[in-house]
Every structure is written in C-alpha cells, then in structure tokens.
C-alpha cells in the first residue's frame, strides 16, 4: 500500500541476558522492503516474556493468526528474516524455519483463540524495545471508496492514472500540478475517472482505495509508484497558515475544510507535489507492501528498516473511540507487520489498518497516540 502517512493519518535473533544493540535488516521479501544495500538502523532490543504483555490473555489471537497465514507464502518463499546484533553477528530465521511455523499455524481453527495463543507462546520469543526509543507513535489508515467510471463523462471527469512507462527509478517526474493540468493527457494511461478531487487526493494519501463503478462492481486501486516528488502534509500547510490548530489537524477536519473552501482546495492540495499512480489489482482486499491482503485491525504498517515484514508485534497504545470525538479507548493486541509508508519511520512507529467503511475512516483519521510494542521472533530449536 505504501502510504504517504503523516499527521494527516491522525490520519525486526535475540540474545538472552543483557540488553543488546540490534539492527533489523530488510528481509528481501518484497521490493518495498527497503532499498538494496541500505544500511540497517540500530535499536536496542531486550529479552522479555509473554507475561510482560499487558492483557495478553484477553486478546483474540486467532484473528492475528489469520493475518500471519497471509504472510506465510512470502515468508516461506523468500530469504527469511535477519536480525543483526550490532556486534558483527547476524541471527537469521530461515525460510525452512518459517515453513515449520506456518505449517503449525495452518492446523488451528480460525475461531480458537486459546489454541492460537498457545501457538504464539510455543513458537515465538518476545523482545522489548528498550532505551530512549521504547515509546513511539501510532496512527491509522483505511481503505477509502469513491464513485467513478471506467470511461469519462460529464459527471466523471477526473482521471486516475497508471504508472507512466517513462517514469524511471527515483528521477523526479511531473509535479501534481503539471499532471492535473493535462501533462499525461492523450497517452492512454487512464484506468478510471472520478468526480471527487478531494476523495481521489485522500486515496493518494492512503496509497490505495476503491472505486464504486457506475457500470457496476468495484475497482480496487493498488499502489503503482509515485512521481518521485516531495510529500507535503496538508496538516502542516493548514497549521502554518493558521487555518487549523495542531490539535485539530486530523484528516476529518482537513477534509471538511477542503470541502467548505472549494476556491482554495485545489491550490492547497497542489502544495503536495507528490502524485500516486495506481493499477487495478482485481483483488478482494487492500494489499500491503509485503504483497499480501491486509486484515482489518490486525495488519500494521512499520518501518522495514527496523521490523521485517511478517513478524508479529504486540501493541500497547490507545485508539479513538468509534464515533465519539475526543474520547479514546485502550488498544492492546497482537498485529502483523505487513505494510509501510513514506512517513512511517523509526523503531517504534506503527500505522494501524482499520479496514473500510465510515467507522474505519473515522478511527483512522483521528488516531494519533503514543505507546509501546513488543516484537515476536521465531524461537530456535
């Protein structure tokens, strides 16, 4: 999904004993898992236990097991996961080891939370993040939907573009303004047309979405690259201009301002030069950077420089209370690292996938909390 997450999103083996300096290397499981040769970044990890996880016994881990199963083809078909100690050693979980874990996971019923909990306790070791980076930031994202058509009409005039063939590597391409002014017109790159410029911008921010087609059915938009231009958060723009206060700069508030200010909306959105290209995934659900379908409430975007895709992570933070502005509830659960985003950076930086629909949009748009997490890594032997 590779989202451009920012304040608008408001809306990785272990060594026993002493603390160890650990570096999580990119897994190589996906082209989105970091640039080849990119230096891994250090964080301090320490051995912990399942007893250290608040409310672990109350979680419904079978839901997470379903998400892990979706990662299994990538884990068993790739190069495994790597964790460097920072002292010259590298501890590795191989594809064969993941194969054994995934085989065991396949035999557990989808609603048997007790068996799922025992599975994780039997097969994984808990690591805590220690030191100054122990606490981090959590935001949310979701799968937006707008109306559109495969062909243009008086109603549906705004094109949705596929990746241009002359877009190469990281070379800066046309800006958002140049593209919206017709820079790609006449090249046959349109895959759909929509009527809501703000809704399409939101899909750009989220990195994927759905178009409810006037012809019937739904087109699923999957991320297919960007124009390699800088990403500018509208939250920052509107805060700097005094339009919104920092505490009020949630995506619902930004969307509302854009809709109430049509004369300024286009100019404001164009201050974000980054433009996202899409492809019709023809799939049944949103797909993350690992290349697997995301699971509502159990998939999370992370920084793959610290956490390899496919690893379970136990989260302790808060989330917005559904449809109760200003209220939050405790959010403690086991999730799986399956996605990333351009603003998801750091050893404890999570972006929770809330799924689709109005409730998901409300929760994802308002989530902006601090918290901790524990990384689960496969046991040896």
Candidate from 71-80, 170-179, 192-201 with smallest mean pLDDT? 71-80
How much is the pLDDT for 13? 20
Q: Which of 229, 251, 280 is the last residue of a domain?
A: 280
Number of domains in the chain: 2
Q: What is the pLDDT of residue 227?
A: 97
| Of the candidate ranges 74-83, 175-184, 251-260, the one whose mean pLDDT is the lowest | 74-83
- Helix then strand count (H, E) for the chain reads 9, 17
CATH number, domain containing residue 239: 2.40.240.50
Task: Assess whether 177 and 224 both reside in one domain.
Answer: yes
Residue 333 pLDDT exceeds 70: yes
Tell whether 124 and 148 lie within a shared domain. no
pLDDT, mean over the chain = 85
- Containing domain of residue 215, as a range? 143-280
pLDDT category at 19 given cuts 50, 70, 90 is very low
Do residue 268 and residue 296 come from a single domain? no
Q: Is 80 among the domain residues?
A: yes
Q: Which residues pair with 332 in a beta bridge?
A: 316
- Residue 106 sits in the same domain as residue 159: no
Give the mean pLDDT of 266-293: 91
What local confidence, expressed as pLDDT, does residue 365 receive?
87
Closest CA to 81 of 378, 381, 380, 290: 378
**pLDDT confidence band for 341 (50 / 70 / 90):** confident
Same domain as 126, residue 246: no
Give the mean pLDDT of 161-167. Answer: 97
Question: What pLDDT shows up at residue 281?
Answer: 86
Q: Look up residue 243 and give its two tokens.
A: 């339009």
pLDDT confidence of 3, banded at 50, 70, 90?
low
Per-residue pLDDT band for 85 (boundaries 50, 70, 90) equals very low
* pLDDT level of residue 343 (50, 70, 90 thresholds): confident
Q: How far apart are CA 10 and CA 270, in angstroms?
A: 21
Q: Which of 124-138, 149-163, 361-375 has the highest mean pLDDT?
A: 149-163
Do 156 and 272 belong to one domain?
yes
Please state, in angstroms and rounded to a whole number, the distance separating the CA atoms of residues 219 and 213: 7
Collapse the DSSP code of 189 into the 3-class scheme (helix H, G, I; strand E, B; otherwise coil) and give the result.
coil
185 domain-assigned:
yes
Output the pLDDT for position 78. 84
Residue 337 lies in a domain: yes
Same domain? For 203 and 243 the reply is: yes
Local confidence band at 90 (pLDDT 50, 70, 90 cut-offs): low
Instruction: Choose the weakest-confidence range: 31-35, 82-86, 289-293, 325-329.
Output: 31-35
DSSP secondary structure string for all residues of 201-257? HHHHHHT-EEEEETTSSEEEEEEEEE-------HHHHHHHTTSS-GGG--HHHHHHH
Is this prediction's pTM over 0.85? no
Q: Which tens digits make up the pLDDT trace of 20-75?
A: 222 222 222 222 333 334 444 556 788 899 999 999 999 999 999 999 999 999 99
d(CA 350, CA 301): 6
22 half-sphere exposure, CB direction, 13 A CA radius: 31
């Amino acid at each position: 999904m590779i989202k451009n997450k920012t304040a608008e999103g408001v809306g990785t083996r272990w060594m026993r004993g002493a603390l160890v300096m650990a570096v999580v290397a990119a897994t190589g499981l996906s082209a989105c898992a970091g640039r080849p040769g990119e230096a891994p970044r250090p964080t301090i990890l320490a051995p912990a236990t399942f007893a250290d996880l608040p409310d672990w016994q109350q979680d419904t881990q079978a839901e997470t097991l379903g998400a892990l199963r979706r990662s299994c083809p990538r884990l068993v078909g790739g190069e495994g996961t790597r964790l460097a100690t920072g002292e010259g050693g590298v501890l590795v979980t191989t594809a064969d080891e993941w194969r054994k874990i995934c085989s065991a996971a396949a035999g557990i019923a989808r609603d048997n939370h007790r068996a799922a909990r025992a599975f994780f306790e039997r097969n994984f070791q808990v690591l805590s993040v220690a030191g100054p980076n122990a606490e981090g930031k959590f935001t949310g994202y979701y799968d937006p939907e707008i109306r559109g058509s495969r062909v243009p009409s008086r109603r549906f005039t705004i094109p949705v573009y596929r990746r241009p063939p002359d877009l190469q590597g990281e070379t800066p391409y046309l800006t958002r303004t140049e593209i919206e002014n017709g820079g790609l017109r006449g090249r046959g790159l349109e895959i759909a047309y929509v009527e809501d410029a703000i809704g399409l911008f939101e899909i750009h921010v989220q990195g994927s979405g759905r178009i409810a087609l006037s012809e019937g059915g739904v087109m699923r938009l999957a991320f297919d690259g960007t124009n390699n231009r800088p990403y500018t958060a509208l939250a920052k723009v509107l805060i700097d201009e005094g339009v919104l206060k920092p505490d009020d700069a949630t995506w619902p508030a930004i969307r509302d301002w854009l809709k109430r200010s049509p004369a300024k909306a286009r100019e404001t959105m164009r201050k974000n030069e980054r433009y996202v290209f899409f492809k019709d995934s023809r799939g049944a659900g949103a797909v993350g950077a690992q290349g697997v379908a995301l699971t509502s409430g159990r998939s999370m975007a992370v920084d793959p420089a610290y956490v390899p895709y496919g690893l379970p992570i136990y989260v302790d933070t808060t989330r917005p209370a559904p449809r109760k502005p200003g209220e939050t509830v405790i959010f403690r659960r086991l999730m799986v690292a399956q996605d990333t985003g351009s603003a998801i950076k750091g050893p404890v930086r999570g972006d929770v996938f809330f799924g689709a629909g109005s409730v998901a949009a409300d929760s994802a748009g308002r989530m902006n909390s601090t918290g901790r997490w524990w990384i689960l890594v496969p046991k040896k032997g």
